[in-house]
């Protein structure tokens, strides 16, 4: 059929430039990490079959979620949009912004370690500033300060909000 006739019919029917959106459940068959795609099999519905779907909007440095093989996903697509995974039941890994910052830290254990180091350093500063040596050169064992320059800085405890990315929860 001539394209102009098809457009005319769709205009008369009121469906010209309308997009048919589809949503379906699927199972992940395989992952193509370099192309940020995966192959899925539709589950149930009128038709079933395999197709390749996107794992992110485009091959860039956004949010790259890699599902687990044989896990369930929900796929969305349309006549004009390449299908993509919208929901994941299981995830092998997530990469944000190209992954240049490595992993997302476990904030509570990290905060505990940082605070332990801060407390230890503050304790050492206090001991350094108050420590005295017994002088062997004077009669009666007089004490003297080991330095005339005391350390006046102390480290304030790190708060969870100082190191936590508030938009990412684990």
**Residue 35, domain CATH:** 2.40.50
Q: Which of 7, 2, 64 is nearest to 36 (CA)?
A: 64
Confidence (pLDDT) at 147? 64
The whole-angstrom separation of Cα 27 and Cα 90 is 11
pLDDT per residue over 17-57, tens digit each?
788 888 999 999 999 988 989 999 998 766 668 888 888 87
Q: How many helices (H) and strands (E) does the chain have?
A: 3, 9
Provide the domain limits for residue 131.
Answer: 107-163
Confidence (pLDDT) at 156? 82
pLDDT per residue over 104-144, tens digit each?
777 788 888 888 888 888 888 888 878 776 666 655 555 56
**Domain co-membership, 90 together with 125:** no
Confidence (pLDDT) at 167? 62
User: Which value, in Å, is the radius of gyration of the alpha carbons in the chain?
Assistant: 32
Cβ(76)–Cβ(84) under 8 Å?
yes
**Domain co-membership, 26 together with 75:** yes
Residue 91 phi/psi, 5-degree rounding, is -130, 135
Does pTM surpass 0.75? no
Residue 5 CB partners (closer than 8 Å, separation 6+)? none
The whole-angstrom separation of Cα 32 and Cα 59 is 12
- For the chain, where are the E strands, in sequence order? 21-32, 37-42, 50-54, 63-67, 72-78, 84-88, 91-96, 133-134, 143-144
Domain final residue pick, 98, 127, 143: 98
**Domain co-membership, 87 together with 155:** no
DSSP state, 124?
H
Mean pLDDT score of the chain, rounded to an integer? 80
* Two structure tokens written together for 52: 């390749």
**Domain co-membership, 134 together with 79:** no
């Amino acid at each position: 059929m001539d394209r102009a006739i098809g457009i005319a019919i769709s205009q008369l029917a009121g469906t010209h430039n309308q997009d048919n959106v589809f949503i379906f459940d699927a199972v992940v068959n395989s992952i193509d990490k370099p192309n940020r795609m995966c192959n899925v099999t539709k589950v149930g519905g009128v038709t079933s079959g395999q197709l390749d779907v996107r794992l992110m909007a485009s091959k860039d440095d956004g949010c790259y979620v890699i599902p687990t093989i044989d896990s369930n996903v929900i796929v969305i697509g349309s006549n004009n949009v390449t299908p993509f995974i919208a929901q994941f039941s299981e995830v092998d890994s997530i990469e944000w912004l190209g992954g240049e910052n490595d992993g997302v830290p476990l904030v509570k254990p990290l905060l505990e370690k940082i605070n332990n180091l801060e407390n230890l350093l503050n304790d050492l500063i206090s001991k350094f500033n108050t420590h005295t040596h017994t002088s062997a050169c004077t009669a009666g064992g007089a004490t003297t300060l080991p330095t005339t320059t005391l350390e006046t800085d102390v480290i304030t405890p790190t708060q969870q909000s100082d190191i936590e990315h508030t938009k990412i929860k684990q």
